[in-house]
Chains A and B, each alone.
Chain A
């Protein structure tokens, strides 16, 4: 049970790490782009700091060490001692990548290249080491010697304060007498006087004495009672409010008086601070334990009276840096509060199990079907025309649609989560290809279904690699062409007529059409001397087996090409298109459905069966004239279309609904584009209309059906099958054993 709890905590930690890393990266990018808001630097610092703190709790030493070095540098930036310009921010971005890798390794296992960590650490150390090189190093070492990990857990920011002692002058010192008597409720709510006293100790020099006078005889001790009080003499540069703020979280759970005494007292001799903390921590615990263990009770009481009296303490180290103490010594809780308060859009979010959302999604799908059935039935009964029913039905329909949209919005996420991975990719690819690249992203807030987002990452990665590797010219060629040395890759997302459109544009040389043509001819993808428009040439790069890179580079050309990109986009119900201007660059456009739960389809009739053909596959519909149909050996037929012969696929025959071919003149042909860009004409008996359908799995209760992608339920309550266009076309080519290409591609 405890293991499970730990596991779930671990999981939460890594989820938060992902968020922190994302924030870190976007913050650094903002800084790189010239953002000067100190809040950005703070956010970046907090991100690394939180990762370090959490990692300490899980004893992820390597991660803690690196995060610590990183944090030290960021703190320099935050203090304004290091200008985050040019080279510095590049180091920071690289370090963010290393940190992300370390987090990943901590989560999934494996290892990070030790060399990378070493270089990263050295780069960072050289940044932070500049002002007081030797002193800093010594400081660093001593912190390590104290045992770094426990420090990170117990005092999250102890080392930061210690790291910057020697600089600032000493301002006016105030003296306070603080009496602090916790109530039992303070312990009950899991507060700990030792922690509070330690916080207080950070404000300045203090002398603590413990008042044990109210500890009763053992027989009368309530194990959960509170009997100790403390009197603290504090010398600090902070105001009374700051002193009081230490006790903010136990307000009401203790008696607290703070009185200011004017005039400086002589400095207190140094004493063992740790010993004090230990004894304070142990005192109430032992008293509590005493009740259970009468045998040792007397000894414990004796112990209390021995350890309880005066503890003169000096904490001179902390007094030296009041500013840092103020900003650093806030407990994590306060820091989190800070963050949400200062974030521009303090949005409240909850984590929800994806299964619950999916279940809701399914239910809404059923609701939509039911609503459609109801209106159809009422229509059939002739009731829909009556005004009362009509208004009711309209409202019902409107509500259903609103609910559907609302539920889909739960699953919808901004594409930011994918876009955010791209800057790192661009940095790496740019470094590997020795090109200078600037990535501009737009429309990161555009929302689309989570599943779509997840399956978008790979194609996008591939296309951006291609844009840099093949699209952008080398720096010297760019200069020769009169362009800026730095290439531009623009990634933008927007909503357009119920779909999400993602553009990947580069300002490179554009597609080298003669070369593309030559390669396609050489590889036998097109016949020599084929008449192709510029557009058709551009689209050749989507053909399987096409790769323009003459050498197989690390970046792209690893055997997978744009055909894979196209396949995976089509599997999502999307399309890829390309526009290119020689010398000015190319733009790849992805158009994707907003969700995978519904699909726009054309409802058709084949051999008295109702089928749905996904609209994304259909290019056009046509009524074939008898003269256009030609036999083509055996039983195959082709249809003549604009000086082209396109294979005609009889859907009814292909799916085994009938054994003989129908008269093409009596039906309708759907011109579809299938796997690899080849066109075919699907022959169906008639078209019923177009509509949005909710996708239902056939596999859950039955299994895969060749030639069928899924099922749906139409307004009449009957099941209609959704045609897997690629499989049907492929099946007709193989002579009637369609394999579901869609399922394979997905």
Chain B
């Protein structure tokens, strides 16, 4: 008993990561909790002209203008029918703060590096670009997203 808890403690301190799990369409994803600033409900966004299809627009986050990415579109699913039960995960990468529109947040997972599987070599763009690992949990499969790659390239915001 005490031995196993000590082992757990050790593994926790060495390589444990906390991930926040959420649903987009029928699939489950997770991102590192350290990138998450807050989670908030959906509010209608102001459409940005000439923007990428996955950019839902901008909302007011306590006085700051926050761009919203529709993760469903970004990952190649049909666009989400945004409504009250949808959730915005506010993430920060560097100095850039962006909201990710997802269907629902499920839970926070603590995993060790050994539990993370490499992404399989499939043809899908999503897998190549955005997924940096897989997680098997009680029969579910969660894809770990790398937050940096999900954000729009700042130079490439002008479509044409």
What is A's interface to B at a CB cutoff of 8 Å? 362, 365-366, 369-370, 609-610, 655-657, 696-698, 700-708, 711, 713, 717-721, 737
With A713-B60, A718-B60, A719-B58 already in contact, the answer to whether A707 and B65 are too (CB < 8 A) is no
User: In this assembly, does B87 line the interface, its C-beta being within 8 Å of a C-beta of chain A?
Assistant: no
The residue in chain A whose Cβ has the minimal distance to the Cβ of B97 is A701
Q: A609-B47, A706-B49 are in contact. List 16 more A-B contacts (CB 8 A).
A: A365-B63, A369-B60, A655-B49, A657-B49, A696-B65, A701-B64, A701-B98, A702-B67, A702-B154, A703-B152, A705-B51, A706-B50, A718-B44, A718-B46, A719-B46, A721-B46
Distance between Cα atoms of A402 and B79 in the complex (Å): 46
Q: How far is the CB of B154 from chain A (nearest CB, A)?
A: 5
Report the interface size class on chain B.
Answer: 20 to 34
Residues of B within 8 A of A369 (CB): 60, 63
With A702-B67, A737-B160 already in contact, the answer to whether A719 and B60 are too (CB < 8 A) is yes
Contact B160 A696 (CB under 8 A): no
Distance between Cα atoms of A705 and B39 in the complex (Å): 26
The residue in chain B whose Cβ has the minimal distance to the Cβ of A705 is B48
Contact B66 A701 (CB under 8 A): yes
With A711-B58, A719-B60 already in contact, the answer to whether A705 and B50 are too (CB < 8 A) is yes
Contact B63 A701 (CB under 8 A): no
Residues of B within 8 A of A721 (CB): 46, 48-49
Contact B59 A719 (CB under 8 A): yes
Interface string of B108-130 (1 = CB under 8 A from A): 00000000000000000000000
The residue in chain A whose Cβ has the minimal distance to the Cβ of B66 is A701
- 7 residue pairs bridging A and B, Cβ less than 8 Å apart: A696-B63, A703-B152, A703-B154, A705-B158, A706-B50, A707-B50, A713-B60
With A701-B65, A701-B67 already in contact, the answer to whether A656 and B154 are too (CB < 8 A) is no
With A369-B63, A698-B65, A719-B65 already in contact, the answer to whether A703 and B155 are too (CB < 8 A) is yes
Residues of A within 8 A of B67 (CB): 701-702
Distance between Cα atoms of A326 and B60 in the complex (Å): 66
User: In this assembly, does B62 line the interface, its C-beta being within 8 Å of a C-beta of chain A?
Assistant: yes
User: In this assembly, does B11 line the interface, its C-beta being within 8 Å of a C-beta of chain A?
Assistant: no
Residues of A within 8 A of B44 (CB): 718
Distance between Cα atoms of A705 and B51 in the complex (Å): 8
With A701-B96, A718-B44 already in contact, the answer to whether A696 and B64 are too (CB < 8 A) is yes
The residue in chain A whose Cβ has the minimal distance to the Cβ of B51 is A705
Contact A698 B49 (CB under 8 A): no
Contact A700 B95 (CB under 8 A): yes
Distance between Cα atoms of A698 and B60 in the complex (Å): 11
Contact A705 B60 (CB under 8 A): no
Compute the total of residue contacts between A and B using a CB distance below 8 Å: 86
Distance between Cα atoms of A584 and B46 in the complex (Å): 54
The residue in chain B whose Cβ has the minimal distance to the Cβ of A713 is B60
With A657-B49, A718-B44, A719-B59 already in contact, the answer to whether A705 and B65 are too (CB < 8 A) is no
Distance between Cα atoms of A713 and B98 in the complex (Å): 17
Residues of B within 8 A of A362 (CB): 63
Distance between Cα atoms of A737 and B65 in the complex (Å): 24
User: In this assembly, does B157 line the interface, its C-beta being within 8 Å of a C-beta of chain A?
Assistant: yes
Residues of A within 8 A of B154 (CB): 702-703
Residues of A within 8 A of B96 (CB): 700-701
What is B's interface to A at a CB cutoff of 8 Å? 44-51, 55, 57-60, 62-67, 95-98, 152, 154-155, 157-158, 160
Distance between Cα atoms of A655 and B159 in the complex (Å): 12
Contact A704 B158 (CB under 8 A): yes
Pick the residue among B95, B97, B98, B158 that contacts A706 (CB under 8 A): B158
Contact A720 B46 (CB under 8 A): yes
Q: What are the 5 tightest A-B residue pairs by CB atom distance, in nearest-first order?
A: A366-B63, A655-B49, A703-B157, A702-B67, A719-B46
Residues of A within 8 A of B160 (CB): 737
Residue among B44, B58, B98, B155 with max Cβ neighbours from chain A (10 Å): B58
Residues of B within 8 A of A711 (CB): 46, 58, 65
Distance between Cα atoms of A380 and B63 in the complex (Å): 21
The residue in chain B whose Cβ has the minimal distance to the Cβ of A731 is B50
Residues of B within 8 A of A703 (CB): 152, 154-155, 157-158
Residues of A within 8 A of B95 (CB): 700
Residues of B within 8 A of A708 (CB): 48-49
Distance between Cα atoms of A27 and B46 in the complex (Å): 56
Distance between Cα atoms of A706 and B96 in the complex (Å): 20
Distance between Cα atoms of A362 and B44 in the complex (Å): 24
Distance between Cα atoms of A369 and B59 in the complex (Å): 14
Distance between Cα atoms of A721 and B47 in the complex (Å): 9
With A657-B47, A657-B49 already in contact, the answer to whether A713 and B63 are too (CB < 8 A) is yes
Distance between Cα atoms of A610 and B45 in the complex (Å): 12
Distance between Cα atoms of A706 and B46 in the complex (Å): 15
Residues of B within 8 A of A705 (CB): 48-51, 157-158
Residues of A within 8 A of B98 (CB): 701-702
Distance between Cα atoms of A701 and B157 in the complex (Å): 12
Distance between Cα atoms of A67 and B2 in the complex (Å): 80
Q: How far is the CB of A144 from chain B (nearest CB, A)?
A: 55
Residues of B within 8 A of A701 (CB): 64-67, 96-98
Pick the residue among A609, A697, A707, A737 that contacts B46 (CB under 8 A): A609
Distance between Cα atoms of A702 and B44 in the complex (Å): 18
Contact A656 B50 (CB under 8 A): yes
